[in-house]
Structure 1
Amino acid sequence: MTPFLTGQPDSNLCISVNAQTGEWNTVACGLTECFVCETPQAMSDCADWYKAGYKDNGMYRILLNGQSYNVYCNMDNGGGWIVFQSRINGNELYWNRTWSEYKNGFNTEQMNTNSNFWLGLNLLHQLTTKNNDVTLRIEMRGDRTPGSTKANAYWFNEYTKFQIGDESTNYQLINMYVDWQNNKGNASTGWYDMTYSIGASFSTVDKINDPQTDCVTKYKMGGWWLRNCALSSLNGDYAIDKSNDGYGMFWIVNGLDDIIHPRESIMMIRPTSFG
């Protein structure tokens, strides 16, 4: 069944379709509408949409392995980014979400720059394996650590060769790479970052794949690639436990002496060849 908007269709009106989302709508028959009857290719990611001339941030429709999906495209910083994690405040719990929620995604109905959402590991696996090389971009804003002088700071980093396995591997973080000698970002100045988790399986509260179960249950790092905990955890508990810096939602910027608890985070990907 064609995905009509809520309350549609109205048999007394004419029909139009949004080329980005694939959703149909009814409009007055006297209203002038533009229609796309044929597209030169099926868009498989936000980079395809950007190359086709669509350069506004927003939700777009992509096609992967015969299945269509809604994704949020960030067209800044060169454009073509698919956002798979957005965290803007502590209104949504991430650390105690289930395996099914992380597999299929949550809060994806209305994805935008002012919402908390996770796109889903199943789709992330497909997106990171359809191209030979995928770039991961991480951005973080503000440090909530008590007494921090970086309450309004901004950090980012980009990693190439980013790849996530399928469910049979527990969505293992297969690879990611940064050239430390030519690193353009400021979020990582050493090995103490997400690269520590290379080879680690994904863990949730109902499916702990870390040999140290406390990493999920006590330190509340659920929803992340854990192996004897981790040196980053952007889906961890938003609350701050003063007894331990490496708790909940945190990131290590410059060695173990510089741990931040970001106010906001965003994780997004695009084909490395696009950039």
Structure 2
Amino acid sequence: MDENNPTKSEAETEEVRTTPLLNINNQTTSKTETIDFPDLCPQSQKGGSHLREIQLPGLDPIKVAYCSYDDIGSGWWLVYRKLNRSRIFNRPYEDYERGFGNLELNFFDEFFIGLNRLHRLTREKPHELVLYAGSGTRRFDHFVVGDRSEGYKVKSIGNCTGDDVWMSPKQGSKFSTFDRYEDGVPGRNLAEEWGYGWWFEPSMRSIGNENHFIDMYIRKTD
């Protein structure tokens, strides 16, 4: 059994072995700063990606990658990266709440910051979102994620620009995993079929069994 790819039956018997929340190689950056939320990632960053440690009120510190790209600018935090044929994203709901994966500033690392942190970040201050999925790019100018009692649903996306990316989260959609499906598609569990957690909803049912690369970045707008 691949310890990074738990099966449904193992998750139900609470025998899932999860990867550490983060596996950071500190040699990838000369300095890791500890900051108190809601400080911004550097808007003047000239390019590339860097590691930084952040502290959200009431939660453990976490190291994140803040990034700058020619097409979208600086100050972005990587919050979700899933590669094609991912080996670690087929996980139970509780893992998605906590967050999981590797973060070493390597393009082939996979990582999710965690639903609870994503809720806290987007609740406290206005954020925008950039989504890369397949060959498309979509930008949302006001992204808000609800709390656990709301199923971590997308409460707002704001105005959308860019490509018509088929994985774009829809306002009102709840987060689904194989053991907690909220996709609204009768008789199906899209998270189980496709092998990862996401804000699935009925309009996605005609896409088929796809397993695309997905990257999500958020940035404060105030």
Q: Check whether TM > 0.5.
A: yes
Partners of 1:218 and 1:73 lie apart in 2 by 31
Note if 1:214 corresponds to 2:170. Answer: no
Matched residue, 2:74: 79
Cα distance change, pair 19–213 in 1 and its aligned pair in 2 (3 A):
farther
3-state DSSP class of the match of 1:224?
coil
Matched residue, 1:238: none
Listed as ranges, the matches of 1:103-182 within 5 Å are 103-110=97-104, 112-131=106-125, 133-141=126-134, 154-179=135-160
Partners of 1:208 and 1:93 lie apart in 2 by 18
Cα-to-partner distance string for 1:121-142 (whole Å, 9 max, x where unaligned): 11111111111x211101234x
Root mean square deviation, CA, Å:
3.2
Aligned residues: 192
Cα distance change, pair 169–219 in 1 and its aligned pair in 2 (3 A):
same
Note if 1:186 corresponds to 2:160. Answer: no
Listed as ranges, the matches of 1:1-275 within 5 Å are 19-20=31-32, 42-44=35-37, 48-51=40-43, 56-67=48-59, 68-76=61-69, 77-94=72-89, 96-110=90-104, 112-131=106-125, 133-141=126-134, 154-179=135-160, 183=161, 185-188=162-165, 194-195=168-169, 197-211=170-184, 212-216=186-190, 219-220=193-194, 222-227=196-201, 229-231=202-204, 245-249=207-211, 262=212, 264-273=213-222
Q: Aligned residues: percent identity?
A: 23
Partners of 2:68 and 2:191 lie apart in 1 by 37
Shift of 1:111: 5.2
Cα distance change, pair 111–100 in 1 and its aligned pair in 2 (3 A):
farther
Partners of 1:56 and 1:213 lie apart in 2 by 44
Cα distance change, pair 108–246 in 1 and its aligned pair in 2 (3 A):
same
Shift of 1:204: 1.0
Residue identity matched to 1:62: I
Structure 1 residue runs of 5 or longer lacking an equivalent are 1-5, 7-17, 23-41, 142-153, 233-243, 250-261
Partners of 1:218 and 1:49 lie apart in 2 by 35
TM-score, length of structure 1 as denominator length: 0.59
Partners of 1:271 and 1:206 lie apart in 2 by 32
Cα-to-partner distance string for 1:1-29 (whole Å, 9 max, x where unaligned): xxxxx9xxxxxxxxxxx64156xxxxxxx
- Give the 4+ runs in structure 1 shifted more than 4 A: 51-56
Q: Say whether the 8 Å CA contact 1:124–1:164 is kept in structure 2.
A: yes
3-state DSSP class of the match of 1:125?
helix
Shift of 1:247: 2.5
TM-score, length of structure 2 as denominator length: 0.71
Partners of 1:66 and 1:93 lie apart in 2 by 27
Q: Say whether the 8 Å CA contact 1:43–1:61 is kept in structure 2.
A: no
